[in-house]
């Protein structure tokens, strides 16, 4: 029997979920954000790894005058270029960014002292649990998250190929995939026309950027995420996996010592024109 505990945000839209997804699939992101504002969903945050899609969402939120805090899962194995985007985003958008790291650790050196070198080689599942899954679960609980914005898109393939704009996560929270129906080219165009900060590794062929040891440039004609998960038999880290465990009961807030620094595809050109016509 399904004993999932649904979040308040999920319960708010659940009776209309199929109808809303049918409607929102035809809408550009600025219209989805307008719907989001009207719904006033409780406990809304954006999870972002400072990828190009996530940076576009930050810009869209800023242009729409929507204040949504951002959660960044710092695995302690990111590229320096990725980490440098945090201060740039805070400066440009005034966004509150919460950094969550492996529990009790602050540097890669500390991680290796605690778990050995190249843990991902010896125990891939444990590595992803420690660096991504557990910090994500901790952030969700400590920040009281009821709904979260993601930058996932259908054209990224794999488990993402049939994404809807709205989905109920395995733990009962609501996910809003704002750019679900956008292509990589749509995202690139928006970045170029709006001066969105982005990772300079993109200019070197890195279309999807994660931990250093799992990320490589992609060749012309290769899929956007072909350069991810080198040597790993996986396509997701666990944060967004369909196999994430469900919340069976209400859970209490956990204590952490490593939380935050502050507590259809519609073309991008059409979205930009719509945004410029409707921004205040």
- Residue positions annotated with a catalytic role: 237
Q: Distance (Å, rounded) from C-alpha 76 to C-alpha 111?
A: 8
* Joined tokens for residue 1: 């029997």
Q: What are the distances in angstroms from CA 227 to CA 82, 123, 156, 192?
A: 16, 21, 12, 23
Are 245 and 166 a contacting pair, CB within 8 Å? no
Angle, to 10 degrees, between the axis of helix 52-63 and the axis of helix 184-194?
50
Are 134 and 111 a contacting pair, CB within 8 Å? no
Closest CA to 150 of 137, 163, 134: 163
């Amino acid at each position: 029997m399904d004993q999932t505990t649904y979040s308040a945000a999920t319960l708010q839209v659940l009776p209309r979920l199929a109808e809303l997804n049918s409607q929102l699939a035809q809408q550009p992101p600025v219209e989805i954000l307008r719907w989001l504002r009207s719904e006033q969903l409780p406990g809304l945050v954006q999870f972002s790894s400072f990828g190009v899609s996530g940076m576009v969402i930050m810009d869209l939120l800023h242009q729409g005058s929507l204040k949504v805090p951002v959660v960044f899962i710092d695995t302690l194995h990111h590229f320096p270029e990725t980490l440098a985007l945090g201060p740039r985003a805070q400066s440009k958008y005034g966004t509150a960014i919460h950094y969550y790291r492996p529990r009790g650790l602050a540097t890669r050196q500390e991680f290796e002292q605690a778990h050995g070198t190249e843990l991902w080689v010896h125990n891939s599942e444990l590595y992803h649990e420690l660096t991504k899954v557990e910090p994500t679960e901790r952030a969700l609980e400590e920040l009281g998250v009821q709904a979260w914005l993601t930058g996932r898109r259908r054209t990224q393939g794999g488990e993402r190929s049939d994404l809807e704009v709205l989905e109920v996560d395995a733990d009962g929270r609501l996910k809003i995939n704002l750019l679900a129906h956008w292509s990589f080219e749509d995202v690139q165009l928006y970045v170029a026309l709006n001066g969105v900060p982005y990772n300079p590794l993109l200019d070197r062929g890195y279309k999807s950027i994660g931990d250093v040891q799992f990320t490589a440039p992609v060749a012309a004609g290769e899929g956007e995420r072909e350069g991810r998960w080198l040597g790993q038999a996986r396509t997701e880290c666990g944060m967004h996996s369909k196999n994430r465990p469900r919340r069976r009961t209400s859970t209490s807030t956990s204590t952490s010592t490593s939380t935050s620094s502050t507590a259809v595809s519609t073309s991008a050109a059409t979205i930009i024109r719509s945004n410029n016509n409707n921004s205040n």
